[in-house]
Chain A
Amino acid sequence: MDVQSYMPVQPGVGMEENFLSLDDILLSQERLPCRTETTFPRLGFLEKSSDTRDIPEGSKMEMPLWLAKGLYERKRRVLSVELPKVYREGWRTVFSADPTVVDLHKMGPYYYGLGSQLLHFQNPENPEIAQAVLQTFIGRFRRTMDSAQNAYNEDTSALVEPLDSLERALFRVGQGGLNAFQRWETGSASRLTASSLVLNYRKRKITDLQD
């Protein structure tokens, strides 16, 4: 109802990101720990900690995902990308134990998106990462659904807080369906009400305008 004329580009979720999706652009800013495998001449200014002119081979640095993706090549080793700790074995075990207790917003907030994007970097643990991301989604689905469909007219900030941005979008959609149904059932959908904008709008006095 309120989103019909506003259709933002949805995030791509999988390995392909959507070029115009704002969520995917924000996701591509996430930093990844990298190790350079060649010298990067005259790019020393990128690294704040040292004041050399070049970035020497083998130095460890953090790069945004978009840059790492652009520089990474399978054949010519320019840099190698290490896994952020959320995707390493230890955390994967935590996720497999009980995915619902983890605060994915703190871990992410693009846990699923970044996990999918990491698969570009030919890591030997790729199958495990993909599996862990999928299982986490499945394990948390029930909770997202239940909280979205039982939350009519109540404060949802506590429910939404530990959710990944993808889950938040799902939560909003689920709640939208519930709300629309409740509005219909109580009959408030057919009643005309003043827009909240108008209610908050204070009439300006003529004296304000003259100042």
Chain B
Amino acid sequence: MDPSEVEFLSEKETVTIIPNFSLDKIYLIGGDLGPFNPGLPVDVPVWLALNLKQRQKCRIVPPDWMDVVKLEQIRDQERKEETFAPIPSPYYMELTKLLLNHASDNIPKADEIRTLVKDIWDTRVAKLRLSADSFISLQEAHAKLDNLTLMEINTTRMFLLDSLNCMYKLRSNMQPGSSATRSQDY
């Protein structure tokens, strides 16, 4: 899975916009949107919000977690805890990137937010690496990772799965009388 495909999924998240045009309710295959009235907030998927923004038809209201104070709290909690802390949005990385790249004029303190989110990401990825290492060295066979987001899983998934696969095979070598040994004995 490519990061752009993860981004594709993240564009289904809803975000509030303030349109500057009026339009009746539209009936899309995945749900109805609108009606749109100038100055009145309305929830739309991110992909539509970004498109309207690029056409200068709306103003995007940043999600409430996209705030310097809240992100600082999350970052500090993330650094304190040994496991993965709950994260405000399952697509925090993608939404930050998309919204800051296309609508940074609607988001206060965009640069600070970018830095904070990057910090959170780095902390979590370092943690992920650490836990992958102890997972391997303790030769565990299962793990529960509730608070990881799809993008984080996706950057390391192939590597971790391939490594675990190798480790599983090397481990099953140690069971004497496995099918491989018997097939030699005609």
Show the binding face of A for B, using Cβ within 8 Å. Answer: 1, 12-16, 72-75, 112, 116, 119-120, 126-127, 130-131, 133-134, 137-139, 141-142, 144-146, 148-149, 166, 169-170, 173-174, 176-178, 180-181, 183-185, 187, 189-190
Q: Which of A112, A127, A180 contacts B170 (CB 8 A)?
A: A112
Name the distance in Å between B148's Cβ and chain A's nearest Cβ: 14
A selection of 17 A-B contacts at a CB cut-off of 8 Å is A16-B179, A75-B185, A116-B169, A120-B184, A130-B174, A133-B170, A134-B170, A137-B166, A138-B137, A141-B133, A141-B167, A145-B129, A145-B159, A149-B159, A177-B155, A184-B2, A189-B2
Chain A residues, Cβ within 8 Å of B101: 187
B173 adjacent to A138 (CB under 8 Å): no
Known interface pairs A144-B163, A185-B3; 20 further A-B residue pairs with C-beta atoms within 8 A, sorted by A's residue number: A13-B169, A14-B173, A14-B180, A15-B178, A73-B186, A74-B184, A120-B180, A134-B171, A137-B167, A138-B167, A141-B136, A141-B137, A142-B136, A145-B159, A146-B129, A149-B159, A169-B162, A170-B166, A177-B154, A181-B155
Chain B residues, Cβ within 8 Å of A189: 2-4
A74 adjacent to B156 (CB under 8 Å): no
Contacts A137-B166, A169-B162, A170-B166 known; A142 to B133 CB distance under 8 Å?
Answer: yes
Contacts A138-B139, A184-B3 known; A126 to B156 CB distance under 8 Å?
Answer: no
Chain B residues, Cβ within 8 Å of A16: 179-180
Chain B residues, Cβ within 8 Å of A15: 173, 178, 180-181
Q: B127 interface residue, CB < 8 Å from A?
A: no
Q: Which of A120, A134, A177, A187 contacts B158 (CB 8 A)?
A: A177
A88-B186 Cα distance, complex, nearest whole Å: 28
A177 adjacent to B181 (CB under 8 Å): no
A170 adjacent to B159 (CB under 8 Å): yes
Q: B119 interface residue, CB < 8 Å from A?
A: no
B156 adjacent to A149 (CB under 8 Å): yes
B180 adjacent to A180 (CB under 8 Å): no
Name the distance in Å between B159's Cβ and chain A's nearest Cβ: 4
In the complex, the chain B residue whose C-beta lies closest to that of A190 is: B4
Name the distance in Å between A144's Cβ and chain B's nearest Cβ: 8
With a 10 A CB-CB cut-off, give which of B2, B101, B158, B169 has the most chain A CB atoms.
B169
Name the distance in Å between B100's Cβ and chain A's nearest Cβ: 11
A190-B7 Cα distance, complex, nearest whole Å: 11
Q: B97 interface residue, CB < 8 Å from A?
A: yes
Q: Scan residues 149-163 of chain B and give those whose CB is less than 8 A from a CB of chain A.
A: 151, 154-159, 162-163
Chain B residues, Cβ within 8 Å of A169: 162
Q: Scan residues 120-161 of chain B and give those whose CB is less than 8 A from a CB of chain A.
A: 129, 132-133, 136-137, 139, 151, 154-159
B159 adjacent to A177 (CB under 8 Å): yes
Chain A residues, Cβ within 8 Å of B181: 15, 119-120
Contacts A134-B173, A180-B3, A181-B3 known; A13 to B136 CB distance under 8 Å?
Answer: no
Q: B176 interface residue, CB < 8 Å from A?
A: yes
Chain B residues, Cβ within 8 Å of A185: 3, 97
Chain B residues, Cβ within 8 Å of A74: 184-185
Contacts A74-B184, A170-B162 known; A177 to B157 CB distance under 8 Å?
Answer: yes
A148 adjacent to B173 (CB under 8 Å): no
Chain A residues, Cβ within 8 Å of B176: 126-127
B178 adjacent to A112 (CB under 8 Å): no
